[in-house]
């Protein structure tokens, strides 16, 4: 057998390959992109942009697994709707239709499934999308973790809205719509093994409303992405990868809740790498940045929006952080999962 | 966050940095931060950029995962392959490469390896799984070992006989002495580990100043703590003194934590043990006393580990002694990176190579 993939022959898939960090990135590039390669997949954006009969369409898919299924601020059903909506919204598209595939482990209580489906319906109604097709599979006990949900979605581009051009320039501002790390820490705290009592609620939310308000007012929005698995750090690294510019962010300006900071300190996690489910990172022409920021702050999901950094001409392909203490350091892409440390 | 943000304050850090620049003598000065958590904190907060060029900070042997020799990792992996066995470990150990595998790999292949946050969680797992042998990987310095001693004592009390510990514990003072004795380096002062000292007290470091005439400062882990300790060490050098200072008074008492120390003494006794890169150091490890011998995994469940292999080009050992830095390594950032770690220093959350790779390349 000929091995064309530049990975070690004895390599096996570990949880780290699914963490959203460097190993996930590697797997996608060295296996999936390599084998499926085509110009529409190649940008590896949150959704593919398809030009069908002269009009643009955004198309995406996402699979959801979370433990526990219900956590403060959301559940797997809400995630499955919001996650796919957000992947379409950050491309500048208006989400319209979703599919829903469920892999259910036998033994799941029907009542639990009902709650999940209700949550999905509620989110669909609130966001104005429809779930128009689906599939159900049931697997033996022990062959799945209660339930996995896949949703795919399509969205269209509204009148006068074109796919973003990603024409980054040094000086462009980096904006985020609020505190980072809430989702990851809310889910973690909900696990019994920690016994944490916190007020942290997942930020899981559909971003299409917020995005649709800011898109028309600013031609200077170059790029948007929702920093989910792997957190803000991983998203910023994906932006600079292979580019002739870098990003400099300012530790003091990145909004993080005190309680999230506290749990991260206890477990030795870096909030920059913790997952979000209702955040959007924007890169905006500096001339438009304040206007975008003001508009974002008028939306319920954008009240805590802040400029957290900028695009810099060098070092290229690097994300750097100005530390609170006044030094600077690089912010690398996450490798594997964040694991609690010894001391 | 209260009690943390104050120690990361930019203005105060700047003041300390200015003072350091002002009093820094006009020659090369080398300080060793013994503890891996210091190495990470220095890199993460960009402290080297706040220091004059002639002050060099070197990492020492204070990353517990890194100093565990391959033979120890291989033993843990061999246990992970056993039937009816649950390995419980701190997260740091998961991705550390052994001779041909890692715990993360064994877990993916079906081995039952669980990450826990404390030894008492491991003990709970043992209680919940009476038909399985639950082995906790006892890696750590004086900071961690008392909590593991407590779990052993608790297991004895509650008669949880399916619980055991694989002891790979290390003690800090013998390693510092080994480094001073080696004569490989000129060290002008030590940033001494704050966490370890909160258990041991500050007396254990007296030999550094008394016998070797070198300064030391027990140091906290925030940027201001580290800058203040550097200032303390520089002042001693300028005054021609060598003393052991305690910068981390908010956590470290001179006499240490007596109840933790007596627990250590009750469950463990010292033994000679092997350190990666340094070799065997006399009385630098802890073994489980005969009285609690039934909780020693090795005595209870004999295991045969594979023949230890190491990549001869990996210089983790030299880095742990402070003789080399990661960028001196031929493998660093070429063959060896956090995705494909060749040595433990690249993958431990306190490893020197991991700190350089993550924050300082």
CATH code of the domain covering residue B288: 3.40.50.11740
Q: Does residue A210 contact residue A333 with C-beta atoms inside 8 Å?
A: no
Residues 204-233 of B with CB under 8 A from A: 223-224
Nearest CA in chain B to A326: B10
**Is B75 part of a structural domain of the chain?**
yes
Our CA-based measurement puts residue B307 at a distance from the nearest CA of chain A, in whole angstroms, of: 19
Nearest CA in chain A to B35: A343
d(CA A181, CA A334): 14
Our CA-based measurement puts residue A229 at a distance from the nearest CA of chain B, in whole angstroms, of: 17
Pair (B166, B28) in one structural domain: no
d(CA B158, CA B310): 41
Residues 54-73 of B with CB under 8 A from A: 64-65
For every residue of B125-190, DSSP letters joined together read HHHH-TTSEEEEEE---TTTHHHHHHHHHHHHHTT-TTEEEEE--B-HHHHHHHHHHH-S----EE
A343 vs B37, B338, B361: nearest CB: B37
Which of A3-17, B64-78, B303-317 is predicted with the least confidence, judged by mean pLDDT?
Answer: A3-17
- pLDDT value, residue A140: 96
**Is B352 part of a structural domain of the chain?**
no
Tell me the HSE value of B119 on the side-chain side, using a 13 A CA sphere: 26
Which residues make beta-bridge pairs with A134? A100
d(CA A273, CA B349): 14
- Length in residues, chain A: 343
What pTM did the predictor assign? Answer: 0.87
A327 vs B49, B140, B358: nearest CB: B49
Is the Cβ pair A342, B109 closer than 8 Å? no
d(CA A20, CA A300): 28
Pair (B146, B74) in one structural domain: yes
- pLDDT value, residue A20: 78
Pair (B12, B104) in one structural domain: no
Instruction: Give the residue-averaged pLDDT of A304-314.
Output: 97
A339 vs B9, B115, B361: nearest CB: B115
Tell me the HSE value of A91 on the side-chain side, using a 13 A CA sphere: 27
Pick the CATH number of A45-156 from 3.30.1330.10, 3.20.10.10, 1.10.340.30, 3.40.50.920: 3.30.1330.10
Query: What are the tens digits of pLDDT across the range B335-361?
Result: 999 888 999 999 888 899 999 998 988
Q: In chain B, what residues touch A252 (CB-CB under 8 Å)?
A: 10
Spell out the domain ranges in chain A: 45-156, 173-330
Instruction: Give the residue-averaged pLDDT of A41-48.
Output: 93
Helix (H) or strand (E) holding A131: strand A130-139
Residue B11 sits in a domain whose CATH number is 3.40.50.11750
Instruction: Give the residue-averaged pLDDT of B265-273.
Output: 98
Q: Which two tokens stand for residue B300?
A: 């209870």
CA torsion sign for B216, B352, B97, A191 is positive
Instruction: Give the residue-averaged pLDDT of A92-105.
Output: 97
CA torsion angle for B180, B184, B189, B194 (degrees, to 10)? -60
Interface check for B92 against chain A (CB to CB < 8 A): the answer is: yes
Nearest CA in chain B to A251: B45
Helix (H) or strand (E) holding B74: helix B70-80
- Length in residues, chain B: 361
Is the Cβ pair A342, B49 closer than 8 Å? no
Pair (B283, B216) in one structural domain: no
Which residues make beta-bridge pairs with B57? B31
For every residue of B226-260, DSSP letters joined together read HHHHHHHHHHHHHTT---EEES-TTT--TT--HHH
Q: In chain B, what residues touch A16 (CB-CB under 8 Å)?
A: 95, 104
Q: Which two tokens stand for residue B189?
A: 């002062």
**Residue-averaged pLDDT of chain B:** 95
Query: What are the tens digits of pLDDT across the range A169-205?
Result: 999 999 999 999 999 999 998 987 777 788 899 999 9
Q: Which two tokens stand for residue B227?
A: 């800058």
Residue A43 has pLDDT above 80, yes or no: yes
Nearest CA in chain A to B104: A14
How would residue A4 be classed by pLDDT, with cut points 50, 70 and 90? very low
Residue A340 has pLDDT above 80, yes or no: no
Q: In chain A, what residues touch B92 (CB-CB under 8 Å)?
A: 339, 341-342
Tell me the HSE value of B97 on the side-chain side, using a 13 A CA sphere: 19
Pair (B18, B125) in one structural domain: no
Coil, helix or strand at residue A135: strand
Is the Cβ pair A340, B115 closer than 8 Å? yes
Is the Cβ pair B17, A16 closer than 8 Å? no
Give the domain extent around B218.
5-63+172-246
- pLDDT value, residue A19: 79
Pair (B128, B213) in one structural domain: no
Query: What are the tens digits of pLDDT across the range B198-229?
Result: 999 999 999 999 999 999 999 999 999 999 99
Pair (B130, B145) in one structural domain: yes
Q: Which two tokens stand for residue A87?
A: 């992947």
Query: What are the tens digits of pLDDT across the range B86-117?
Result: 999 999 899 999 999 999 999 999 999 999 98
ipTM: 0.80
Nearest CA in chain A to B66: A342
Q: Which residue has the tokens 């470290």?
A: B252
Our CA-based measurement puts residue B150 at a distance from the nearest CA of chain A, in whole angstroms, of: 16
Q: Does residue B167 contact residue B67 with C-beta atoms inside 8 Å?
A: no
Phi then psi dihedrals of residue A25, to 5 deg: -55, -45
**Is B329 part of a structural domain of the chain?**
no
Pair (B151, B81) in one structural domain: yes
Helix (H) or strand (E) holding A222: strand A221-225
**Is B306 part of a structural domain of the chain?**
no
A327 vs B37, B46, B338: nearest CB: B46
A327 vs B47, B95, B107: nearest CB: B47
DSSP E strand stretches across A23-114: 48-52, 55-64, 70-71, 74-75, 94-105
- pLDDT value, residue A22: 81
Q: Does residue B135 contact residue B87 with C-beta atoms inside 8 Å?
A: yes
**Is B332 part of a structural domain of the chain?**
no
Q: Which two tokens stand for residue A270?
A: 């870096």
Pair (B230, B95) in one structural domain: no
Is the Cβ pair A324, B223 closer than 8 Å? yes
Residues 183-202 of B with CB under 8 A from A: 195
d(CA B170, CA B285): 4
Greatest CA separation found in chain B? 66
Instruction: Give the residue-averaged pLDDT of A64-69.
Output: 94
Interface check for B21 against chain A (CB to CB < 8 A): the answer is: no
**Is B335 part of a structural domain of the chain?**
no
Residue A7 has pLDDT above 60, yes or no: no
Residue B345 CB neighbour total at 10 angstroms: 35
**Is B311 part of a structural domain of the chain?**
no
Is the Cβ pair A325, B45 closer than 8 Å? yes
Which residues make beta-bridge pairs with A75? A70
A173-330, CATH topology level? Phosphoribosyl-aminoimidazole Synthetase; Chain A, domain 2 (3.90.650)
Pair (B70, B130) in one structural domain: yes
Interface check for A15 against chain B (CB to CB < 8 A): the answer is: yes
Q: How many structural domains is chain B composed of?
A: 2
Pair (B184, B239) in one structural domain: yes
Of B225, B246, B267, the residue that ends a domain is B246
Is the Cβ pair A325, B357 closer than 8 Å? no
Percent of all residues in chain B with a pLDDT value above 70, rounded to a whole number:
100
Interface check for A213 against chain B (CB to CB < 8 A): the answer is: no
d(CA A180, CA A258): 11
Pair (B226, B148) in one structural domain: no
Interface check for B334 against chain A (CB to CB < 8 A): the answer is: no
Task: Name the nearest CA neighbour of B302 among B33, B6, B79.
Answer: B79
């Amino acid at each position: 057998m000929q091995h064309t993939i530049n990975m070690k022959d004895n390599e096996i898939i570990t949880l780290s390959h699914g963490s959203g960090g460097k190993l996930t990135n590697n797997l996608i590039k060295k296996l999936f992109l390599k084998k499926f390669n085509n110009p529409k997949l190649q940008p590896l954006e949150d959704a593919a942009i398809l030009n069908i009969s002269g009009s643009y369409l955004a198309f995406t898919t996402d699979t959801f697994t979370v433990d526990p299924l219900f956590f403060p601020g959301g559940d797997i059903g809400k995630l499955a709707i919001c996650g796919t909506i957000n992947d379409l919204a950050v491309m500048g598209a208006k989400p319209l239709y979703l599919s829903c595939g469920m892999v259910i482990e036998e033994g799941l209580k029907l009542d639990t499934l009902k709650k999940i489906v209700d949550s999905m319906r509620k989110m669909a109604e609130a966001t104005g999308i429809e779930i128009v097709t689906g599939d159900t599979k049931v697997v033996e006990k022990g062959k799945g973790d209660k339930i996995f949900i896949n949703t795919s979605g399509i969205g269209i581009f509204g009148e006068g809205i074109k796919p973003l051009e990603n024409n980054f320039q040094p000086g462009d501002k980096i904006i985020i719509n609020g505190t980072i790390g809430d989702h990851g820490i809310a889910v973690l705290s909900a696990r019994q093994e920690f016994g944490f009592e916190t007020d942290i609620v997942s930020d899981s939310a559909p971003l299409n409303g917020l995005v649709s308000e800011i898109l028309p007012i600013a031609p200077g929005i170059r790029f948007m992405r929702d920093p989910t698995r792997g957190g803000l750090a991983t998203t910023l690294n994906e932006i600079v990868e292979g580019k002739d510019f870098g990003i400099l962010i300012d530790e003091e300006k990145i909004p993080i809740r005190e309680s999230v900071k506290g749990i991260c300190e206890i477990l030795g996690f870096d909030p920059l790498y913790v997952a979000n489910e209702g955040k959007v990172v924007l890169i905006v022409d500096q001339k438009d940045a304040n206007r975008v920021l003001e508009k974002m702050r008028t939306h319920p999901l954008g009240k805590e929006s802040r400029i957290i950094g900028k695009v810099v001409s060098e070092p290229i392909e690097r994300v750097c952080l100005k530390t609170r203490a006044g030094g600077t350091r690089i912010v690398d892409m996450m490798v594997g999962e964040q694991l609690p440390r010894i001391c | 966050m209260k009690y943390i943000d104050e120690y990361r304050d930019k203005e105060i850090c700047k003041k300390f940095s200015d003072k350091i620049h002002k009093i820094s003598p006009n020659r090369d000065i080398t300080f060793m931060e013994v503890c891996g958590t210091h190495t990470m904190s220095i890199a993460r907060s960009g402290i080297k950029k706040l220091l004059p060029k002639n002050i060099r900070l070197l990492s020492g042997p204070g990353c517990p995962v890194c100093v565990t020799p391959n033979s120890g990792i291989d033993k843990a992996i061999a246990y992970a392959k056993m039937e009816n066995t649950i390995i419980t470990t701190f997260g740091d150990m998961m991705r550390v490469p052994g001779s041909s595998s890692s715990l993360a790999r064994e877990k993916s292949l079906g081995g039952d390896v669980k990450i826990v946050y404390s030894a008492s969680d491991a003990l709970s797992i043992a209680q919940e799984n009476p038909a399985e042998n639950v082995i906790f990987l006892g890696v750590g310095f004086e900071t961690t070992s008392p909590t593991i001693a407590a779990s052993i004592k608790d297991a004895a009390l509650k008669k949880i006989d399916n619980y055991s510990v694989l002891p790979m514990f290390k003690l800090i003072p013998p390693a510092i002495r080994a480094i001073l004795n080696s004569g490989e380096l000129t060290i002008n002062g030590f940033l001494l580990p704050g966490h370890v000292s909160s258990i041991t007290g500050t007396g254990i470091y007296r030999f550094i100043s008394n016998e070797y005439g070198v300064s030391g400062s027990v140091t906290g882990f925030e940027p201001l703590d580290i800058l203040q300790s550097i200032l303390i060490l520089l002042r001693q050098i300028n005054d021609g003194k060598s003393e052991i200072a305690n910068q981390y008074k908010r956590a470290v008492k001179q006499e240490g934590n007596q109840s933790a120390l007596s627990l250590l003494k009750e469950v463990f006794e010292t033994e000679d043990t092997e350190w990666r890169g340094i070799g065997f150091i006399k009385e630098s490890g802890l073994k489980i006393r005969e009285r609690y011998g039934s909780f020693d995994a090795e005595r209870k469940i004999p295991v045969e580990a594979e023949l230890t292999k190491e990549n001869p080009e990996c210089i983790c050992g030299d880095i742990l002694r402070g003789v080399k830095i990661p960028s001196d390594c031929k493998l660093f950032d070429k063959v060896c990176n956090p995705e494909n770690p060749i040595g433990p220093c690249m993958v431990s959350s306190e490893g020197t190579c991991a700190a350089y790779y993550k924050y300082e390349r």
